[in-house]
């Protein structure tokens, strides 16, 4: 495998993406009243859809997390009836 030379370092944000995100945030901030007027005219489901789509440009996306679980011991189930244990 070739060693990486040049380019951005790992986890360094893309400058263009950061700049565009800032421009979009400013655009939204400058038009909040107009956006609210439009949202007020929509049905609840339409309103939610638009808010979710706009949020993709403003809020960072969270990465999903996966977890693996290995069961190493058996689980023994029983019913306690007085002094007697009945396996189930």
Q: Walk along the chain (88 residues) and give the pLDDT tens digit of each residue.
A: 677 677 777 777 777 878 888 888 888 889 889 989 999 999 999 999 998 888 887 777 777 777 777 777 777 777 777 788 877 7
Residue 72 lies in a domain: no
Determine the Cα–Cα distance for residues 39 and 84; give it in Å rounded to an integer: 65
Q: How many domains does the chain have?
A: 1
Is residue 80 a part of any domain in this protein?
Answer: no
Task: Confirm whether 25 is domain-assigned.
Answer: yes
Q: Does 37 fall in a domain? A: yes
The pLDDT value recorded for residue 45 is: 92
Q: Is residue 84 part of a domain?
A: no
Residue range of the domain that includes 41: 13-62
With respect to residue 88, please indicate whether it lies within any of the assigned structural domains: no
Identify whether 36 is part of a domain. Answer: yes
pTM exceeds 0.85 for this model: no
Nearest to 50 by CA among 42, 62, 60: 42
CB 49 within 8 A of CB 59: no
């Amino acid at each position: 495998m070739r060693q990486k030379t040049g380019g951005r370092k790992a986890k360094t944000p893309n400058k263009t993406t950061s700049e565009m995100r800032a421009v979009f945030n400013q655009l939204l901030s400058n038009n909040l009243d107009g956006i609210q007027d439009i949202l007020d005219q929509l049905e609840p489901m339409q309103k939610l859809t638009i808010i979710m789509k706009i949020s993709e440009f403003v809020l960072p996306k969270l990465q999903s997390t996966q977890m693996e679980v290995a069961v190493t011991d058996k689980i023994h189930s029983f019913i306690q009836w007085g002094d007697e244990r009945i396996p189930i």
